[in-house]
Amino acid sequence: MTKQREIGIRELYQQDPVRADELVFGRRAGPNRRGFLRGAGLAAMSAAVGAAIPFHRNMPAGLIPAALAESKDDFKLEGKDGLSVLNDRPVNAETPAHLLDDAITPISRHFVRNNGLVPDRARSMEAGDWTLTIDGEVATPLTLTLDEIKKKFKPVTHQLQIECGGNGRAAFNPPAKGNQWTVGAIGCSEWTGVPMRDLFKAAGIKDSAVYTGYYGEDVHLSGKPDKVVISRGAPIAKMMEPHTLLAYQMNGQDIPFWHGFPARIVAPGWPGSVSGKWVKRIWIRKEVHDGPKMTGTSYRVPWFPPEPGEKVEKKDWRIIESMPVKSLITFPETGTTVTGKTLDVRGHAWAGDNAVKRLDLTMDFGASWVEAKLEKPKNPYAWQHWQAELTFPSKGYYEIWARATDDKGRMQPFAVTWNGKGYLNNSMHRVAVKVVV
Ligand SMILES: Nc1nc2c(c(=O)[nH]1)N[C@H]1C(S)=C(S)[C@@H](COP(=O)(O)O)O[C@H]1N2
Ligand SMILES: [Mo]
């Protein structure tokens, strides 16, 4: 006798999306659309999402309805408010989209991504004998205390987005191993610190410098004191870009222990893993860095789009640099009941090293689009706020989808661009609402 195991709707859609449509909604859908989902199937789906679906004919088959796609599990982390905890050792927690509504992400709502354990020094929030060393391809290696960094170098403050390279991984099919981030491993807080290039210049960075490698104070899960948790870096040009900081404040206060006290790198627009927390050493190298999570397939994607499930040879993987164009709908929240014909919708958009040029919304699965009002970024690498008024043609279940376009003309795709590691999913964010008038 085989034992039946209960599986969640997300897992069901990952295993076989068309079969999931059939199991959940009772009827096999057409090959591309849910237009064939009639009678009992359509009724089941409407019941599941809580209203009739006026545009059901346009609905892609095998795609989990947005009303059911984001997890709602809550769990309390110190200093955090409403984050979904994906893992507790190491701690990984993401922020539901509607809690990212603030222009500047409050500390309590910035996601947390740890590969190891928070160091004791950070827990105590006392810098003590902490120093930062910059060595390698420099004329004079520097070792600085926190006070020296604050006194000798001119601070700057910028709004900077940090997004985990694996944000959106939960939508991969076949699934990719790792934290199953839905959409909330992104934040844009205000960071204060010293441009990294000022520190590098003070150390007399040499022409032979090619790449950096950071070392943090966090503790490996094995507990072994000498085992490095993660050590990544970036090409010198990215590290010398004026918005790449050695930060010591987040939203005007000492960086909280989750986020790297007493100091961290913020290399905005690149995978969050470049932004080393609890940093104590930056090694300037004459070749590409090769620390833990820098080599193999870590934070790399194939240079060509593989077929879902295709095996890709080692030599075809490239280190991820700028993150792709992306956006979030932060109002309304999925599940909202709309009692008027119109609704003000808003959110943010960002595009790695680039700017966002335009944002469009659809409520009929891509048949028509409404252009949103898009603000300029507060500074380069800040996310951009957008807002639009939508008018619904009738009552029913609607999905609002947002699509950002960057200044190079690149747009967010409808579906996941698959790779074996679950990186860089910038498919459109979807929010489900029920219109009752
Ligand atoms: N020392 C250290 N730095 C680190 C990490 C880590 O585990 N250890 N995680 C990285 C990853 S993968 C991400 S996405 C960001 C997350 O930053 P946050 O926790 O402040 O949101 O920190 C990066 N810096
Ligand atoms: Mo990450």
Q: Which two tokens stand for residue 65?
A: 């309805």
SS (H, E, C) 33-86: ECCCCCHHHHHHHHHHHCCCCCCHHHCECCCCCHHHHCCCCCCCCCCCCCCEEE
For the CA of 216, the closest atom of ligand 1 is 1
Count the residues in the chain.
437
Distance from residue 165's CA to the centre of ligand 2 (Å): 5
Domain edges within the chain: 9-64, 84-319, 326-435
Token code pair at residue 74: 């809550």
Please give the number of the atom of ligand 1 that sits closest to the Cα of 115: 7
Say whether 326-435 and 84-319 share the same fold. Answer: no
| Contact by Cβ (8 Å): 94, 35 | no
Q: Which fold has domain 84-319?
A: Sulfite Oxidase; Chain A, domain 2 (3.90.420)
Query: What pLDDT is recorded for position 71?
Result: 53
| Alpha-carbon dihedral sign for residues 196, 202, 207, 212 | negative
Is the distance from CB of 281 to CB of 289 less than 8 angstroms?
no
What is the distance between the alpha carbons of residues 231 and 214, in angstroms, rounded to a whole number? Answer: 5
What is the per-residue pLDDT for 267? 98
Residue 3's CB: how many other CB atoms inside 10 A?
4
Give the helix/strand (H/E) hosting 12: helix 9-15
Give residue 207 CA to ligand 2 midpoint distance, Å.
Answer: 30
pLDDT for position 30: 55
Cα(208) to ligand 2 centroid in Å equals: 29
How many angstroms separate the CA atoms of 264 and 260, rounded? 5
Give the residue whose CA is nearest to atom 19 of ligand 1: 112
**CA of 129 relative to ligand 1 center, distance in Å:** 22
Other C-beta atoms lying within 10 Å of the C-beta of residue 175: 15
pLDDT in the model for residue 1: 32
Q: CA 121, 124, 125, 126 torsion: positive or negative?
A: negative
Which residue in 362, 308, 322 sits closest to 238, CA to CA? Answer: 322
Please list the pLDDT of the chain residue by residue as tens digits (437 residues): 333 445 566 666 777 777 677 666 655 555 556 655 667 677 777 777 778 888 888 888 778 788 777 655 445 688 888 888 888 889 999 999 999 999 999 999 999 999 999 999 999 999 999 999 999 999 999 999 999 999 999 999 999 999 999 999 999 999 999 999 999 999 999 999 999 999 999 999 999 999 999 999 999 999 898 999 999 999 999 999 999 999 999 999 999 999 999 999 999 999 999 999 999 999 999 999 999 999 999 999 999 999 999 999 999 999 999 999 999 999 999 999 999 999 999 999 999 999 999 999 999 999 999 999 999 999 999 999 999 999 999 999 999 999 999 999 999 999 999 999 999 999 999 999 999 98
Top mutation candidate among 275, 421, 424 for ligand 1, by most atoms within 8 Å of CB? 275
Amino acid 4: pLDDT: 40
Q: CB under 6 Å to ligand 1: residues? A: 110-116, 162, 164, 216, 218, 229-230, 259, 272-273, 275-278
Crossing angle of helices 17-25 and 39-49, in 10° steps, is: 90
Cis bond upstream, residue 175 (ω within 30): no
Nearest ligand to residue 186 Cα: 1
Domain spanning 326-435, CATH class: mainly beta
CA of 92 to the centre of ligand 1 (A): 10
Pocket test for ligand 1, best of 86, 92, 94, 113 (most atoms within 8 A of CB): 113
Of 230, 298, 319, the one to substitute when testing ligand 1's pocket (max ligand atoms within 8 A of C-beta) is 230
